[in-house]
């Protein structure tokens, strides 16, 4: 199947060719015809499945006819990184359409955003808070919006944006097309969707499980040996790009410093950094200046570096959803990746929940020749789960990428 089947305007088809997409991803194949028909849609798919183009392409198609200089599509996203990525996708796919898009988010000055709005745009990609600031200031008119997209709705709710989203919905015309994307469907999201969607078609890919192209493994480790384990894993290997998650900003920063001292090209990405520092970290990672990016969940939202080879959960994620989101950073667009989760004492329950969602047991691994400390017994790490957990000692190091020995746990 190819993109030709959708009969896009030739300028849009040229954009698809420009970005090099040849075969639609499963969510694109299912969602694009639905969105083109103009009805509401509820898209349920994990990260990395190609949702952005699934809504951007039909929006470009719709906007390629009709008035210019009015905000006709509003895309709301949880973080500025994600907003920038969606904007970039619009610019690339729409490069021959002359359709204009602007990003609106906090943490940067309002001036350039206001200028872009004054010059006239057809698409706004925005984070909720700053969008409402502009609306309140009368700088932004949402009365011509024909299509409203809520991207990563579950994450927006996690981040406390639900009241803002409700306010935004009151600002757009009632007669509109609404597209709602989420990786998971907790109760509050289901209720919001019920309320704002009109007879939606449901498009679902996978069921809230991480990308199937990712293999998962668990590394039980004493809490105070995690830094050393990470350094040992990455030592002298060509692992590609490694994204490491920590729970706190402080730990992201200190771990980046530690890894740098160990001779790795590492940098942190966390919420205390300025927008330009964050952009520098992401760009440096994307372009290969850094091999290791150490990030907090929120800061890492929406990072799309297609060559991420490994995700390492230095700290266990707080929820299964967070696990799904983190792991979605690797294995994007059906490239395969590996996800390693460090488990310390007390993490057993979370491991159990993740395994329930995955529908499979995570493979337990032990890094050969690593000094775990005398008396370390991985079984003890999981006292809260079953005592029959078995641990394989694999003659396999972290550096097996390309060596043909990538393991799959499903």
Q: Which residues bind Mg ion (CB under 5 A)?
A: 51
Q: Dihedral sign, CA of 76, 80, 81, 83?
A: positive
Report the nearest approach of Mg ion to the CB of residue 233 (Å). Answer: 29
Tell me the residue nearest to Mg ion as measured from the CB.
51
Number of residues that bind ligand ADP (CB under 6 A): 17
Which of 15, 24, 210, 337 touches ligand ADP by CB under 6 A? 24
Contact 325, 274 (CB under 8 A): no
Binding string, 310-349, against ligand ADP, x = CB under 6 A?
Answer: ----------------------xx----------------
Which of 12, 34, 48, 218 touches ligand ADP by CB under 6 A? 48
Site for ligand ADP in 53-92 (CB under 6 A): 53
Which residue's CB is nearer to Mg ion, number 253 or number 301? 301
Report the nearest approach of ligand ADP to the CB of residue 230 (Å). Answer: 26
Report the nearest approach of Mg ion to the CB of residue 101 (Å). Answer: 16
Is 246 a residue that touches ligand ADP (CB under 6 A)? Answer: no
* Residue 163, C-beta contacts closer than 8 angstroms, at least 6 positions apart: none
The whole-angstrom separation of Cα 363 and Cα 377 is 16
Total residues found in the chain within this entry: 410
Which residue's CB is nearer to ligand ADP, number 3 or number 105? 3
Contact 394, 368 (CB under 8 A): yes
Report the nearest approach of ligand ADP to the CB of residue 79 (Å). Answer: 13
The whole-angstrom separation of Cα 245 and Cα 341 is 9
Backbone angles phi, psi at 44, to 5 degrees: -115, 105
Which of 6, 32, 51, 146 touches ligand ADP by CB under 6 A? 51
The whole-angstrom separation of Cα 238 and Cα 338 is 14
> Taking the CB of residue 388, how many other CB atoms lie within 10 A of it?
6
Contact 319, 158 (CB under 8 A): no
Report the nearest approach of Mg ion to the CB of residue 130 (Å). Answer: 19
The DSSP-derived string for 247-291 is SSHHHHHHHHHHHHHTT--EEEE-TTS-HHHHHHHHHHHHHTS-S
Contact 76, 149 (CB under 8 A): yes
The whole-angstrom separation of Cα 110 and Cα 397 is 49
Report the nearest approach of ligand ADP to the CB of residue 198 (Å). Answer: 23
CB burial class (10 A; 0-12, 13-18, 19+) of residue 1? exposed
Report the nearest approach of ligand ADP to the CB of residue 139 (Å). Answer: 28
Site for ligand ADP in 298-317 (CB under 6 A): 304, 306
Which of 6, 12, 15, 25 touches ligand ADP by CB under 6 A? 25
Binding segment for ligand ADP (CB under 6 A), chosen from 23-31, 70-78, 290-298, 387-395, is 23-31
Which residue's CB is nearer to ligand ADP, number 47 or number 381? 47
Which residue's CB is nearer to ligand ADP, number 44 or number 117? 44
* Residue 91 three-state SS: helix
Nearest C-alpha neighbor of 362 from the set 215, 223, 210: 215
Report the nearest approach of ligand ADP to the CB of residue 46 (Å). Answer: 7
Residues that bind ligand ADP (CB under 6 A): 21, 23-25, 28, 45, 47-53, 304, 306, 332-333
């Amino acid at each position: 199947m190819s993109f030709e089947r959708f009969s896009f305007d030739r300028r849009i088809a040229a954009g698809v060719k420009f970005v090099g997409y040849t075969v639609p991803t499963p969510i694109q194949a299912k969602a694009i015809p639905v969105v083109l028909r103009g009805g509401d849609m509820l898209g349920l798919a994990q990260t990395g499945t190609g949702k952005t183009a699934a809504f951007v392409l039909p929006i470009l198609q719709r906007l390629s006819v009709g008035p210019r200089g009015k905000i006709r599509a509003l895309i709301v996203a949880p973080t500025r990184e994600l907003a920038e990525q969606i904007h970039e996708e619009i610019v690339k796919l729409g490069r021959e359409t002359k359709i204009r898009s602007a990003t609106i988010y906090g943490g940067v000055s309002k001036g350039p955003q206001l200028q872009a709005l004054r010059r006239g745009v057809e698409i706004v990609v925005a984070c909720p808070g700053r969008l409402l600031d502009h609306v309140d200031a009368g700088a932004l008119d949402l009365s011509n919006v024909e299509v409203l997209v809520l991207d990563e709705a579950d994450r927006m709710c996690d981040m406390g944006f639900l009241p803002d989203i409700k306010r935004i919905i009151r600002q757009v015309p009632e007669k509109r097309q609404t597209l709602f994307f989420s990786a998971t469907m907790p109760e509050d999201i289901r209720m919001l969707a019920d309320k704002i969607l009109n007879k939606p078609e449901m498009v679902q890919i996978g069921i809230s499980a991480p990308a199937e192209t990712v293999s998962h493994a668990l590394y039980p480790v004493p809490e105070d040996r995690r830094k050393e384990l990470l350094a040992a894993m990455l030592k002298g290997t060509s692992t590609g790009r490694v994204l490491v998650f920590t729970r706190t900003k402080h730990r992201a920063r200190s771990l980046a410093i530690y890894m740098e001292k160990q001779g790795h090209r590492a940098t942190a990405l966390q919420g205390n950094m300025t927008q330009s520092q964050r952009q520098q970290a992401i760009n440096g990672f994307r372009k290969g200046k850094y091999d290791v990016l150490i990030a907090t969940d929120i800061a890492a939202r929406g990072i799309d570096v297609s060559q991420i080879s490994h995700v390492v959960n230095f700290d266990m994620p707080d929820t299964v959803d967070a696990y799904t989101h983190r792991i979605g950073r690797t294995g994007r667009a059906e490239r395969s990746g590996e996800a390693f989760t460090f488990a310390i004492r007390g993490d057993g329950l979370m491991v159990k929940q993740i395994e329930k969602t995955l529908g499979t047991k995570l493979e337990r691994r032990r890094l050969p020749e690593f000094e775990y400390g005398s008396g370390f017994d991985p079984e003890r790490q999981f006292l809260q789960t079953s005592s029959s957990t078995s641990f394989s000692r694999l003659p396999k190091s972290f550096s097996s990428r390309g060596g043909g020995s990538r393991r799959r746990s499903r």
